[in-house]
Structure 1
């Protein structure tokens, strides 16, 4: 079986949920004897594990709209000739589709249909995406939540949407002291709701634990200065550590050191750090939103993300709860292994 795994958004040296999916899903497919995998990325972003590779120029000097159009034309040409399976996350989608292959558009979320649309021309961008999702032959989403949103907001045929969860990569554990009280991994942007977390944490330090620690890990998308100003306002700078660039191995050590992973995000398509934190046996407290219930089920403590008192109460309650060794780890391994996720996708093709 010939499969093209394509992402022109992929950045090999950046730790994100989308990049991790590309790496671990791709490596798992490539390891199968009956699969011939070709990876398609931009120049300079070739993953170390890839064997068969197609690279496209970066075109960094081009205006964004022109660059996207050029990529769309090139991908249309490459995909149309391919016989097999194509998994692609880039938009615009190809101009035409071939009956010689099975095309899947990978959709992580549909934030353009929420208040957290980052596009410059929001209404036009949303309409354009809606049309594209309705014309593609097949769609892969990373959660049932995203699938249901595509059906609800974009009127996409539910029978052409398949769910393929994100997963975890089991690593050798290192038992270390859990000296980080709270950890949050998220890009600095409004929907990630750092604001209410900072207010809740400042109250936690004042009321319950004077030397508690909070680590914030993530790339700045224009909101970090606002959060740093908030940290300064509440005079908790000595208790908060911000890290923007981090390797996978360094991140794993932080998970090992963390007592409680907290996620106050207002909108997600999946929430990969939740299952990673569970794998490392961290307590998990998170927003009371549909997708987190789908992913974490009863293995998390939920709060109202718009109410910093609710977040504070969750922080207080969880710090009075012992960690049961292996409980959350077993759940994460059983439900989110990349091997099982790849198996499910291959079974989908067989059907």
Structure 2
């Protein structure tokens, strides 16, 4: 097969959508090396987030100065001509978008929709952004031959909010980077903890520090936990982070809360493996990759008791009302006081998370592509 991808975020986004795009391209090129993969990138990258091998993975950028300058026009309109010229059989929009004109050239298309949070929680988005997102997602869902939803929760949202027939939607889960499946030496772990001045046992939370992710509840719970344990928050800080800093200062928790940004992939994996518990009380997600990363790292997980979270966390994680800091603090204490039972649940969760292993995900994905060419 000759498969094309809308690859803007694969080359330029360091977090969720970028990680999804890079992992998908990585596992496809690894498990199905006889195919050819074309990554349509609207501008050259300043950082090397994704390496193309020019054997079965190729980068395609705007062919001239005009289209390089008007890169959004190229990505949405002019790119279709180049997709046709490269004899692409299937074009995959990796983040809810498809260019115009694919049907005109009879090019099969599939689009991945990660979530519809902008519809569920409109107050988190500007009016203008909501309108743009809805237009793009609705158009892509309508025009695509098939839709990939990253969870059953997202599939149902596509049916409910975009009014798309469920027969057009396939659920293909996300996996996570190989770094979370590697065991790191004690020396390596000590080096990372020393670098970030972490000397105590700690609760870990990973993700953008914004209102929807709800990290303030973790800090409030920490204040109620009478165990000698810290909190490590890893992620970019948005405006919401000021509430957290204010609470920390008011309750004199500065010595117990560590904010980290810019950690490397390996350092992040080490910080998972050294955590005592991973806490993810997000209000809503399309899936929740950090949960998968924690389960592969053999760390107990406490997360939200509704939506997609039980789908990601499986039957042996621990679930709470995400706004109940008392329930969270009690669950954290229970985990510390019951190490044998927790260890057993962690092993069961590690078996559960194998359903999100690369081989299983790439086979499901490839089945979607084959279905398009029947």
Cα distance in 2 between the residues matched to 1:5 and 1:130: 16
Match of 1:240 in 2: 257
Secondary structure, aligned partner of 1:174? coil
User: How far, CA to CA, are the matches of 2:62 and 2:245 in structure 1?
Assistant: 38
Corresponding residue for 2:193? Answer: none
In the alignment, which residue of structure 2 is the partner of 1:282? 299
Contact 2:315-2:349 at 8 Å conserved across structures? no
1:249 counterpart residue number: 266
What is the match of residue 40 of structure 1? 40
Measured after TM superposition, the shift of residue 191 of structure 1 is: 0.4
Secondary structure at the aligned position of 2:319 is classed as strand
Matching of residues 59-98 of structure 1 within 5 Å: 68-81=72-85, 82-90=87-95, 93-98=98-103
Matched with 1:131 is 138
Structure 1 CA distance for aligned equivalents of residues 240 and 282 of structure 2: 14
Q: Cα distance, 1:350 vs. partner?
A: 2.5
1:108 to 105, 114, 128: 114
Name the one with the larger helix percent: 2
Shift of 1:11: 4.4
Using the TM superposition, give the Cα deviation of residue 258 of structure 1 relative to its aligned residue in structure 2, in angstroms: 0.6
Aligned-residue offset at 1:136: 2.8
With normalisation by structure 1, the TM-score equals 0.87
Which of structure 1's runs of 4+ aligned residues deviate more than 6 A?
none
2:358 paired residue number:
338
Local SS of the residue matching 1:121: helix
Aligned with residue 158 of structure 2, among 135, 150, 167: 150
Write the distance in 2 (CA, Å) between the matches of 1:89 and 1:281: 29
What is the rounded CA distance, in whole Å, between the counterparts of 1:299 and 1:337 in structure 2? 18
SS of 1:237's equivalent in the other structure is coil
Q: Note the 1:183-262 alignment, pairs <5 A.
A: 183-204=204-225, 208-209=226-227, 211-262=228-279
Q: Which moved more, 1:102-111 or 1:72-81?
A: 72-81
CA contact (8 A) 1:43 1:56 kept: no
In the superposition, the TM-score normalised over structure 2's length comes to 0.82
Show structure 1 runs of 5+ residues with no match: none
Q: Which shifted more, 97-106 or 73-82?
A: 73-82
